[in-house]
């Protein structure tokens, strides 16, 4: 028996609730049985959104309370709905439509490969880890990586901190196929996710050129991350708070004149994030806004100010 809890709210409130959900997942304070999705109610009502929380059991009062906390004060009405028996993972994958970002085409196994010349195709199953390409921050990072390559950026050593599915690391290796690549995530489940996605996309695993080394680590706290520094390119699509906390750590890992790609921050959070990285010795090289999210391409000064 499957159920869902649903709540209707304006788009910005649903997105804030999804961000709050990510924070609770990071701290381990979220019930892993409850899977969230957010979407607009109808194409002609772009500001009216619905937050759905899927459960493998009948919702309890504690489930309603947990969902309500995501909205803070004045939470919307939460409704429970029993669902017909079906394979919800499969159904979710079918609803995740392909995306195009720069030269990249990202889709679940339910959709065909795009073999158009010049297009880089990735298969990323849905409902695994953050970073399927559907979120505006991930798609924005893919587009920015494509821009960086077209503008002549050269990468010999890159790292993806908070990789999720491995997608950004895959994209970097597609653009700079002779680079050393490292991917890390605080969630140990991502190691098996990335390994499977490497298999699906023909990405080699290992520590040599053109291969991906996947590790579990909080932030930059792992010997391999430090041993492979300095990086020509470091990517982090996480959250604004952790990004600001990691500014000094990232500065110590990025080579002088090296590149930093940051995402996971709302446009309203951008000034604070940029200020933290300006102090750490980075300058803005490029900026992209995708919906309410900022994607920042920063470059480290030759000598920090």
- Distance, in Å, from the CA atom of 130 to the CA atom of 301, rounded to the nearest integer, reads 31
Whether the per-residue pLDDT at 146 is higher than 60: the answer is: yes
User: Which tens digits make up the pLDDT trace of 176-221?
Assistant: 999 999 999 988 888 998 999 999 999 999 999 999 999 999 999 9
What band does 251 get if pLDDT is binned at 50, 70 and 90? very high
What is the predicted pLDDT for the residue at 129? 44
Q: What is the chain's percent helix, strand, coil content, to nearest 5?
A: 35, 35, 35
- Distance, in Å, from the CA atom of 46 to the CA atom of 194, rounded to the nearest integer, reads 34
What is the predicted pLDDT for the residue at 85? 67
pLDDT top residue among 133 and 139: 139
pLDDT top residue among 165 and 132: 165
User: Which tens digits make up the pLDDT trace of 84-127?
Assistant: 765 554 555 455 678 899 999 999 888 899 999 999 999 998 75
- Distance, in Å, from the CA atom of 176 to the CA atom of 156, rounded to the nearest integer, reads 7
pLDDT averaged over the chain? 88
Find all residues with CB under 8 Å of 190, minimum gap 6, and list them. Answer: 129, 163, 164, 165, 166, 214, 216
What is the predicted pLDDT for the residue at 92? 52
Instruction: For the chain, list the domains and their CATH numbers.
Output: 2-85 (3.30.70.100), 129-300 (3.40.50.150)
Which residues is 234 bridged to in the sheet?
A: 159, 260
What is the predicted pLDDT for the residue at 235? 98
What is the predicted pLDDT for the residue at 96? 66
User: Which tens digits make up the pLDDT trace of 16-45?
Assistant: 888 888 788 777 788 878 888 887 787 677
Whether the per-residue pLDDT at 63 is higher than 70: the answer is: yes
What is the predicted pLDDT for the residue at 300? 95
Q: What percent of the chain has pLDDT over 90?
A: 60
- Distance, in Å, from the CA atom of 48 to the CA atom of 108, rounded to the nearest integer, reads 26
Q: What is the DSSP letter of 163?
A: -
What is the predicted pLDDT for the residue at 27? 78
What is the predicted pLDDT for the residue at 41? 81
Whether the per-residue pLDDT at 162 is higher than 80: the answer is: yes
pLDDT top residue among 45 and 296: 296
């Amino acid at each position: 028996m499957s159920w869902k809890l649903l709540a209707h709210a304006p788009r910005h409130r649903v997105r804030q609730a999804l961000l709050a959900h990510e924070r609770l997942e990071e701290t381990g304070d979220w019930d892993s049985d409850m899977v969230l999705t957010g979407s607009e109610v109808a194409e002609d009502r772009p500001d009216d959104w619905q937050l759905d929380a899927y459960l493998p059991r009948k919702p309890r009062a504690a489930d309603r309370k947990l969902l309500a906390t995501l909205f803070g004060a004045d939470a919307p009405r939460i409704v429970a709905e029993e669902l017909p028996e079906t394979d919800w993972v499969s159904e979710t994958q079918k609803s995740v439509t392909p995306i195009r970002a720069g030269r990249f085409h990202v889709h679940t196994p339910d959709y065909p490969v795009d073999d158009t010349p010049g297009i880089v195709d990735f298969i990323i199953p849905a409902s695994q880890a953050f970073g399927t390409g559907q979120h505006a921050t991930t798609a924005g990072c893919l587009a920015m990586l494509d821009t960086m390559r077209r503008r002549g950026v050269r990468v010999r050593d890159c790292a993806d901190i908070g990789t999720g599915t491995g997608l950004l690391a895959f994209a970097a290796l597609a653009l700079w196929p002779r680079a050393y690549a490292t991917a890390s995530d605080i969630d140990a489940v991502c190691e098996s996710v990335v390994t499977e996605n490497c298999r699906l996309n023909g990405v080699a695993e290992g520590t040599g050129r053109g291969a991906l080394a996947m590790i579990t680590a909080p932030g930059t706290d792992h010997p391999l991350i430090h041993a492979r520094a300095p990086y020509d390119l470091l990517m982090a699509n996480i959250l604004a708070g952790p990004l600001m906390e990691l500014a000094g750590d990232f500065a110590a890992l990025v080579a002088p004149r090296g590149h930093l790609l940051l995402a996971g921050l709302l446009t309203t959070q951008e000034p604070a994030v940029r200020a933290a990285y300006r102090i750490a010795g980075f300058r803005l090289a490029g900026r992209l806004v995708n919906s309410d999210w900022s994607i920042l391409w920063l470059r480290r000064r030759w000598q920090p100010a």
